[in-house]
DNA sequence: GCCATGCTGCTTTTT
DNA sequence: GCAGCATGGC
């Protein structure tokens, strides 16, 4: 029956789909969940679904909203869609959660209580704003580290909590909430929003404004959500508001696509549970599993399936392929991380020379960034081309942020974060003291730093006045200029370029600034607008509050004003004539649009096209990518699974999913590599091989090095028993300064790292070595996983059946071998 | 205002 | 082991 429809379809769009993909694409307009396994054609299904809906006239472009997590995914979706049918993708709302929220808030800035020119703080900006706040309110930064406050604030927002919503149980939380409140006030005063705020404010506007909510509910008939397993609490709540639960009389349908087995972002608030909640709350009748994998040979796939089957909490899914078994998965052991890197380089050479792999089709994956160094060194020394993903991206570079800060100040003089970034950069004789005085003046006057300048006096005052005048003059001068001209002028007049030209090591930075001009240029040509027209749409330009910055409009006042400006809504239902930057009516200047672009899109990690280099990245970064050959390195207990994650059940399951993601990146060949010793935090560590290696099907593997090589005598060469002298004899006094090794993340007070002491040459005398069973007074019997360090530095990692895995300082913990 | 030195902390990351 | 930052000296 189904296959009849399948065969009879007249649309070439659907012809290339397999049956399960077809069923997903041609689902009725009702809520549905697609469980899309790795390499199962998820993006194809999403885009074909949209194309099919449009082609069969079930919806007009304006009725589509598709949301992703990364700009890359959104771009990809638009691109594929455009290749499928002639459609103006800008009429649809396709973008990241934050991108769409930005679009939404730009259109309703008044209702959201924001100035029209609101700027977006990225993570760096947010942190510096918090630091500034802490200084201003004399916060003890030892008790409340700004980083931790940032984490707290972002966490609250991701849970949809305003300061008033947070449950306060202790003084510490009370203070944090206070600071959260102050931070919010600061942001509002300065006309800036952080990433969390984009989401939360959109959510609140939908929640509190029935007109807006109804408008969008009527408009969006099909909502498609990519990577649903990565949504956090707020994002899911946002979706619920946008669409409305069954019984709320709304007509939109959500198609959620996700893979619980690839949920690897719990640490940043992702809730896999949203998948089950979605099915329940939206009474989902249609669930489809995409299990046909088009990527890998079956040895690779079976390994992935077998591994992930060790997880208890899954929705359940098994990937299959019609490709053959392929090569076995190679498992390799090295004596050290250094040797591992050496071996890798050799193997890579062979792979390219003899086996005909392209370098850019090979990936070296690792659990944590710190592991890349030794690999890079080896590759560099061997002259082997490589590219490392991660690290600073284009718009995050200091020189770029400086340039952007000037541009932002021109747009929004109240942006104190930007003001402080460049007020004395390049140096112009404005020191810390004058800035402090200015900050005091601004505080007293309750105005921005920019506005407070006029009240300053003396020499410092003159310098400040000159700075502000420069910004103001630039703003006037650049009116009507093209974006390129604006940036050129700013780079010149502010002295930024000259500053870096004069610097010995500044060549790269100058180059990057030139690249910024190029980026602006291509932004303008790509997005198709040149002059800095500041035309406002009718409804907005007639509204009195749209003149200037309406920062004094409170959110509640703004909410009321909706009834006075009904023309904000309706009439543009189809949005066919709307382009990306007119934000459904609000036409932004090219500069404003470019600044938004810069904050929301930190820039691809510039994987330069055409460059044939082996790719180095974390497993996290590899999600969504695929390669002919993949090396997963550092497969050791403590590293992968990471020691911070293996103490609790959920953590371990997430690590396993991470491993699953890593394995499923490989098309043809997969290497799994581990090392007996590894340099970490400046110490050599002796790690057992990862448990994940034991969780793979033996018949798919080929142990290139003997399976249990090397471990037997590691660390067990201790001469004289134990319990006598040496480490055991240390007096407690020597451990007075012992402290938890991993700060707040360590729940176990038994985890100690002793203060550095002169290196002792003596072999360990404690008699503890990997593999032995030991007894601890409190934890009972456990198995030693690893031992590191010597003398008072010696630590053992022990797995206690009832208390989990712990690191114990041997000079503190009383361990006896049983 | 700039540079040197010392101290701390240390998984994963997108927007 | 090493980066990133804060502090302190000139």
The alpha carbon of residue A538 and the mean position of all alpha carbons in its chain are separated, in whole angstroms, by: 38
Homologous superfamily of the A395-419+465-534 domain (CATH) = PCRA; domain 4 (1.10.486.10)
Q: Is A37 annotated as a binding residue?
A: yes
CA A741 to C1' C10 (Å) is 37
β-bridge pairing A222-225 and A64-68? parallel
List helix spans (H) across A220-312: 233-243, 273-281, 298-308
Per the structure block, which two tokens stand in for A402? 């400086």
Cβ of A283 near strand B (under 7 Å)? The reply is no
Which nucleotide has its C1' atom closest to residue A142's CA? Answer: B8
- Report which DSSP code applies to A806: E
Compute chain A's Rg from CA coordinates. 29
Closest CA to A256 of A237, A231, A219, A221: A231
Cα→Cα distances A357→A353, A354, A627, Å: 8, 8, 10
Is A530 annotated as belonging to a binding site?
no
Check whether A634 is labelled as a binding-site residue. no
Same fold, A329-391+607-703 and A395-419+465-534: no
Q: Which long-range contacts (CB under 8 A, 24 or more apart) does A473-477 make?
A: A474/A406, A474/A410, A475/A410
Residue A473's pLDDT is 95
A40 known member of a binding site: yes
A124 touches strand B (CB under 7 A): no
Pairwise CA distance, residues A222 & A50, whole Å:
9
Q: Please state the pTM of the whole predicted model.
A: 0.81
Q: Which residue is nearest to nucleotide B11 (CA to C1')?
A: A368
Q: Cα(A33)–Cα(A229) distance, rounded to whole angstroms?
A: 11
Q: Is the CB of A756 under 7 A from strand B?
A: no
Grouping H, G, I as helix, E, B as strand and the rest as coil, residue A6 is helix
Residue nearest to nucleotide C6 (CA to C1'): A141
Q: Which nucleotide is nearest to A95 (CA to C1')?
A: B15
Neighbour tally for A499: CB within 10 Å = 17
A595: tokens are 């600044």
Distance from residue A147 (CA) to nucleotide C5 (C1'), in Å?
13
Find the helix or strand (DSSP H, E) in which A34 lies. Answer: strand A32-36
Task: Quickly tell me which residue has 């050959």 as its tokens.
Answer: A629
DSSP state of A522: H
Element housing A628 (H / E): strand A627-632
Annotated binding residue A36: yes
* Residue A287: strand pairing partners: A33
Q: Confirm or deny that A147 is annotated as ligand binding.
A: no
Q: What is the pLDDT of residue A27?
A: 95
Determine the pLDDT at residue A805. Answer: 65
Compute the distance between CA of residue A349 and CA of residue A343 in angstroms, rounded to an integer: 10
CA distances for A264 relative to A250, A308, A460, A646, A733, angstroms = 33, 13, 51, 14, 43
**A691 CA vs B15 C1’ separation (Å):** 34
- Please name every residue paired with A788 in a beta bridge, in sequence order, or none if there are none: A685, A795
Q: List residues of A with catalytic annotation.
A: 42-43, 226-227, 262, 665
How confident is the model over A468-519, as pLDDT tens digits? 999 999 999 999 899 999 999 999 999 999 988 888 778 888 999 999 999 9
Angle between helices A432-445 and A458-477 (to 10 degrees): 70
- Strand C: which bases are under 7 Å from protein Cβ? 1-2, 6
Cα A216 to Cα A211, A220, A314, A476: the distances in Å are 9, 6, 34, 38
Is nucleic acid strand B under 7 Å from A122's C-beta? yes
Query: How far, CA to CA in Å, does A740 sit from each of A425, A747, A778?
Result: 40, 9, 18
For the segment(s) A120-190, the CATH number from 1.10.260.40, 3.50.50.60, 1.10.1060.10, 1.10.10.160 is: 1.10.10.160
Q: d(Cα A172, Cα A166) in Å, to the nearest integer?
A: 12
What residues does each domain of chain A span?
Answer: 19-112+197-292, 120-190, 329-391+607-703, 395-419+465-534, 772-817
pLDDT of residue A765: 59
| CATH code for the structural domain at A19-112+197-292 | 3.40.50.300
| Protein footprint of strand C, defined by Cβ closer than 7 Å to any strand atom | A 131, 370, 373, 679, 681-682
Structure tokens at A429: 């004789």
The enclosing H or E element of A173 equals: helix A171-190
Which nt has its C1' nearest the CA of A681? C1
What pLDDT does A551 receive? 31
> How distant is C1' of B10 from CA of A708, in Å?
31
Is residue A404 within 8 Å of A517, Cβ to Cβ?
no
Parts of chain A with a pLDDT under 50 = 1-8, 530-583, 709-764
Distance CA A118, CA A109 (A): 9
Q: For chain A, what percentages of helix, strand and coil (3-state, to nearest 5) are there?
A: 50, 15, 35
Nucleotide nearest to A199 (CA to C1'): B15
> What is the rounded CA–CA span in Å between residue A554 and residue A561?
11
| Nucleotide at minimal C1' distance from the A264 CA | B12
Enter the tokens of residue A321.
């392929």
Q: Is the CB of A3 less than 7 A from some atom of nucleic acid strand B? A: no
* Nearest of A577, A568, A659, A585 to residue A618 by alpha carbon: A659
Quote the pLDDT of residue A251.
Answer: 86
Find the DSSP H helices in A220-297: 233-243, 273-281
Q: What are phi and psi of A472, to 5 degrees?
A: -65, -40
Question: What is the residue whose two structure tokens read 């939109």?
Answer: A252
| CATH among 3.40.50.300, 3.20.20.60, 3.40.50.1970, 2.40.110.10 for A329-391+607-703 | 3.40.50.300
């Amino acid at each position: 029956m189904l296959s009849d429809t399948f065969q009879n379809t007249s649309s070439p769009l659907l012809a290339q789909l397999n049956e399960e993909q077809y069923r997903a694409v041609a689902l009725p307009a009702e809520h549905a969940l697609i469980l899309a396994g790795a390499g199962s054609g998820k993006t194809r299904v999403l885009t074909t679904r949209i194309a099919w809906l449009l082609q069969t006239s079930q919806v007009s472009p304006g009725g589509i909203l598709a949301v992703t997590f990364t700009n890359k995914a959104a771009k990809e979706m638009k691109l594929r869609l455009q290749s499928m049918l002639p459609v103006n993708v800008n009429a649809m709302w396709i973008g990241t959660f934050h991108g769409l929220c930005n679009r939404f808030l730009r259109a309703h800035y008044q209702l959201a209580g924001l100035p029209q020119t609101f700027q977006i703080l990225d993570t760096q900006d947010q942190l510096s704003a918090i630091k500034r706040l802490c200084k201003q309110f004399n916060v003890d930064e030892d008790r409340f580290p700004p980083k931790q406050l940032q984490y707290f604030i972002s966490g609250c927002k991701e849970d949809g909590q305003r300061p008033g919503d947070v449950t306060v149980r202790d003084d510490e939380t009370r203070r944090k909430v206070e600071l959260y409140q102050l931070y919010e006030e600061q942001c509002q005063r300065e006309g800036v929003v952080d990433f969390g705020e984009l989401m939360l404010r959109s959510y609140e506007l939908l929640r509190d404004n029935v007109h807006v909510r109804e408008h969008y509910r009527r408009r969006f008939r099909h909502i498609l959500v990519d990577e649903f397993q990565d949504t956090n609490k707020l994002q899911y709540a946002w979706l619920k508001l946008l669409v409305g639960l069954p019984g709320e009389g709304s007509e939109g349908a959500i198609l959620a696509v996700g893979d619980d087995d690839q949920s690897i972002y719990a640490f940043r608030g992702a809730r896999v549970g949203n998948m089950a909640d979605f099915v329940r709350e939206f009474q989902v009748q249609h669930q489809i599993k995409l299990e046909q994998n088009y990527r890998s040979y079956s040895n690779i796939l079976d390994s992935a399936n077998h591994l992930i089957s060790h997880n208890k909490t899954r929705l359940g899914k098994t990937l299959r392929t019609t490709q053959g078994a392929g090569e076995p998965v190679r498992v390799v052991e090295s004596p050290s991380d250094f040797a591992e890197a050496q071996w890798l380089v050799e193997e890579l050479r062979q792979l390219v020379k003899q086996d005909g792999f392209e370098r850019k089709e090979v990936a070296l994956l690792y659990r944590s960034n710190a592991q890349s160094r030794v690999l890079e060194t080896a590759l560099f020394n061997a002259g082997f081309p490589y590219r490392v993903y991660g690290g600073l991206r284009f718009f995050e570079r200091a020189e770029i942020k400086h340039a952007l800060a000037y541009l932002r100040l021109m747009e929004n003089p109240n942006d104190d974060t930007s003001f402080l970034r460049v007020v004395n950069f390049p140096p112009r004789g404005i020191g810390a003291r004058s800035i402090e005085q200015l900050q005091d003046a601004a505080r007293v006057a309750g105005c921005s730093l920019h506005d407070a300048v006029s009240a300053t006096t003396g020499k410092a005052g003159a310098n400040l006045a000159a700075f502000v005048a420069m910004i103001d003059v630039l703003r006037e001068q650049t009116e009507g200029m093209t974006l390129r001209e604006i940036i050129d002028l700013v780079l010149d007049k502010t002295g930024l370029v000259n500053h870096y030209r004069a610097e010995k090591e500044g060549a790269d930075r100058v180059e990057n600034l030139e690249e910024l001009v190029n980026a602006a240029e291509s932004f303008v040509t790509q997005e198709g607008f040149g002059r800095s027209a500041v035309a406002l749409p009718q409804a907005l330009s007639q509204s009195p509050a749209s003149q200037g910055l309406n920062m004094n409009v409170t959110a509640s006042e703004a909410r009321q004003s909706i009834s006075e400006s009904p023309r904000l809504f309706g009439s543009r239902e189809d949005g066919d004539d709307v382009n990306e930057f007119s934000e459904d009516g609000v036409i932004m200047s090219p500069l404003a649009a470019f600044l938004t672009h810069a904050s929301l899109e930190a820039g691809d990690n510039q994987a330069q096209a055409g460059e044939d280099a082996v790719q180095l990245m974390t497993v996290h970064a590899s999600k969504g990518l695929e390669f002919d050959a993949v090396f997963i390195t550092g497969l050791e207990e403590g590293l992968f699974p990471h020691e911070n994650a293996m103490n609790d059940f959920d953590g371990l399951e997430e690590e396993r999913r991470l491993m699953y993601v890593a394995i499923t990146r490989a098309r043809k060949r997969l290497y799994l590599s581990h090392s007996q010793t590894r340099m970490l935090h400046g110490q050599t560590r002796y790690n057992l091989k990862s448990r994940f290696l034991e969780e793979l099907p033996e018949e798919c593997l080929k142990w290139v090095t003997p399976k249990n090589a090397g471990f037997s005598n590691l660390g067990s060469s201790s001469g004289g028993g134990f319990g006598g002298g040496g480490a055991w004899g240390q007096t407690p006094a020597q451990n007075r300064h012992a402290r938890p090794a991993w700060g707040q993340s360590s729940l176990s007070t038994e985890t100690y790292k002793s203060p550095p002491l002169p290196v002792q040459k003596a072999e360990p005398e404690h008699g503890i070595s990997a593999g032995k069973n030991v007894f601890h007074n409190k934890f009972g019997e456990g198995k030693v996983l690893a031992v590191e360090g010597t003398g008072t530095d010696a630590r053992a990692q022990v797995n206690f059946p009832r208390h989990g895995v712990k690191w114990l300082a041997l000079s503190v913990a009383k361990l006896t071998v049983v």
